[in-house]
Amino acid sequence: MDLLNHLSTHWNYLGCITLMMIGLYIAISRGNLVKKIMGVNIFQASVILLYVSMGKVKGGTAPILIDGRSDVIFSNPVPHVLMLTAIVVGVASTALGLALVVRIKEAYGTVEEDEIVALDRAEERRALATEGVESTDVQGGGGKA
Amino acid sequence: MTDAVTVHHAATEALSFRDHLPALQVLLPLMGAPLCFLLRKAALVSFFTVAISFACLAISLTLLGQTMGGEILIYEFGSWPRPFGIEYRVDITNSFVLVVISLVAAVVFAAGPGQARRSIPVGREYLFYSAALLCLTGLLGVTITGDVFNVFVFMEISSLSSYILIALGRERRALMAAFTYLIMGTIGATFLLIGIGLMYQMTGTLNMVDMAVRLQAVSDTRTILVAVAFVIVGISTKLAVFPLHQWLPNAYSEAPPIVSAFLAATATKVAYYLLLRFTLGLFGAALIFDQIGIDILLMPLSVLAMFVGSIAAIYQTDFKRILAYSSIAQIGYMTLGLSLATEAGVAAGLIHLFNHALMKGGLFMVAACVMWRMGSTHIDVMRGLGQRMPITMAAFVAAGLALVGVPGTAGFVSKWALVTAALENEAFFIAFLIMASSVLAVVYIWRLVEIVYFSEPETDFEVKEAPLRMLIPTWTLAGMTIWFGLFSGFSVEVAEAAAKQLFVGLAGAGA
Q: Each residue of B178-206: pLDDT tens digit?
A: 999 999 999 999 999 999 999 999 998 89
Query: Are B315 and A47 inside 8 Å of each other by CB?
Result: no
Residue B303 · residue B432 · CB < 8 Å: no
Residue B138 · residue A74 · CB < 8 Å: no
Nearest by CB to A103, which of B175, B187, B201? B175
Nearest by CB to B186, which of A93, A104, A145? A93
Q: Does residue B117 register a pLDDT over 80?
A: no
Distances in Å between the Cα of B147 and the Cα atoms of A78, B96, B143, B153, B310 are 14, 19, 10, 10, 36
Q: Which of A103, A114, A123 to mutate to test the interface with B (most CBs of B within 10 A)?
A: A103
**Beta strand segments in B220-312, E:** none
Chain A residue with Cα closest to B193? A47
Nearest by CB to B175, which of A36, A37, A107? A107
Chain A residue with Cα closest to B162? A96
A100 domain residue, yes or no: yes
pLDDT-derived band of residue B116, with 50, 70 and 90 as boundaries? low
pLDDT for B302 equals 93
Nearest by CB to B160, which of A36, A96, A138? A96
Burial of B355 (C-beta count, 10 Å sphere; 0-12/13-18/19+):
buried
Q: Give domain limits for chain B.
A: 294-497
Q: How far apart are CA B481 and CA B404, in angstroms?
A: 12
Could you read off the pLDDT tens digit of each residue along chain A, which spans 145 residues?
A: 677 887 777 888 888 999 999 999 999 998 899 999 999 999 999 999 999 888 888 888 888 877 777 778 888 888 888 999 999 999 999 999 999 999 999 999 999 999 999 998 998 888 777 765 554 444 433 333 3
A chain contacts of residue B324, beta-carbon cutoff 8 Å: none
Q: Each residue of B45-87: pLDDT tens digit?
A: 889 999 999 999 999 999 999 888 878 888 888 888 877 889 9
Q: How far apart are CA B397 and CA B299, in angstroms?
A: 31
- Residue B149 at interface with chain A, using a CB cutoff of 8 Å: yes
Query: Are B380 and A131 inside 8 Å of each other by CB?
Result: yes
Chain B residue with Cα closest to A55? B201
- Give the angle subtended at the CA of B131 by the CAs of B126 and B132, to the nearest 5°: 95
Q: Each residue of B48-57: pLDDT tens digit?
A: 999 999 999 9
Provide the chain B residues 31-60 that lie in CB contact (below 8 A) with chain A: none
CA A125 to chain centre: 33
A chain contacts of residue B194, beta-carbon cutoff 8 Å: 47, 50
Could you give the 3-state DSSP secondary structure of residue B246? Answer: coil
The domain spanning residue A17 has which CATH number? 1.10.287.3510
Among chain A, residues having any CB pair with chain B shorter than 8 Å are 24, 27, 33, 36-37, 40, 43-44, 47, 50-51, 54, 78-79, 82, 85-86, 89, 92-93, 96-97, 100-101, 103-104, 107-108, 116, 120, 131, 135, 138-139, 141-145
Give me the count of residues in chain A: 145
Q: Each residue of A41-74: pLDDT tens digit?
A: 999 999 999 998 888 888 888 888 777 777 788 8
A65 domain residue, yes or no: no
Tell me the nearest-neighbour CA distance from B170 into chain A, angstroms.
Answer: 12
Chain B residue with Cα closest to A81? B149
Q: How far apart are CA B304 and CA B245, in angstroms?
A: 12
Query: Are A107 and B178 inside 8 Å of each other by CB?
Result: no
Query: DSSP state, B113?
Result: S
Query: Are B458 and A54 inside 8 Å of each other by CB?
Result: no
Span of A2-11, B26-35, B352-361, B491-500 with lowest mean pLDDT: A2-11
A43 domain residue, yes or no: yes
| Complex confidence, ipTM | 0.88
**pTM of the predicted protein model:** 0.92
Size of interface A-B (CB pairs under 8 A): 87
Mean pLDDT of all residues in B288-307:
89
Residue B365 · residue B261 · CB < 8 Å: yes
The rounded radius of gyration (Å) of the Cα atoms in chain A is: 25
Buried b (16+ CB within 10 A) or exposed e, B371-391: bbbeebbbbbbbbbbbebbee
CA B428 to chain centre: 29
Query: Are A27 and B183 inside 8 Å of each other by CB?
Result: yes
Edge-first strand listing for the sheet containing B72-76: B5-7, B72-76, B87-90
Domain span including residue A19: 7-55+75-131
- Number of structural domains chain A divides into: 1
Q: How far apart are CA A24 and CA A20, in angstroms?
A: 6
Alpha-carbon torsion, ordered A121, A125, A126, A128, to 10 deg: 140
Query: Are A50 and B194 inside 8 Å of each other by CB?
Result: yes
Distances in Å between the Cα of B314 and the Cα atoms of A135, B308, B349 are 21, 10, 24
Nearest by CB to B160, which of A92, A138, A143? A92
